[in-house]
Each structure stands twice: as C-alpha cells, then as structure tokens.
Amino acid sequence: MLKQMQIGKNGITQNFIESLKHQFNNANNVKISVLSSFSRDKKEIQKAKDEILEKLGKNFTAKIIGFTIALKKWRKDVRE
C-alpha cells in the first residue's frame, strides 16, 4: 500500500517526522510531494531527502523523482 504526504512552507518539522513514521506502520512505501512553497530547487530537495533519511534511521532508502521524494522501508539495514 502506498501512502502520500506533502512538504510545504513549514519544512521538515518534528511533527512531520512523527507523522511519517506513523505512515510506515501501515505501508512500506511513502511518496512525499514537495510543494512550491517549500522549494523548487533540486539541491534543496536533495538536502530535504538526506535530512529525512537521517531522522528516520538506517532501514530506509529514498530517491527523488521530479518534485517527489519516494521513500521505502526495508526489513534490514540497507545503508551502512
């Protein structure tokens, strides 16, 4: 099952991360749409992706597709 979220002008807050962790209780994949109020700069989106992965932990990977960050949860650590 795929869940969807959005990053807006508030950016990546603690509340956003908690909500994201809650989404992964029911799904292995989450798509995060990056709204124009957050950024339209590819480097900023890359920084946001890195920050999200850092806060979530090692069982997650992500890739950027346009203005969307696709997150995947793995059962085992995949980033070492």
- At 27-71, the pLDDT tens digits run 999 999 999 999 999 999 999 999 999 999 889 999 999 999 999
Q: Which domains does the chain have, with CATH numbers?
A: 2-73 (3.30.110.60)
Provide the 10 A C-beta neighbour count for residue 51: 13
Q: What is the pLDDT of residues 16-27, one digit of tens each?
A: 999 999 999 889
pLDDT band at 73 (very low <50, low <70, confident <90, very high): very high
* Kind and range of the H or E run holding 21: helix 14-23
Q: Alpha helix (H) ranges present in the chain?
A: 14-23, 42-56
Q: What is the DSSP-derived secondary structure letter of residue 48?
A: H
Looking at residue 57, its pLDDT comes to: 87
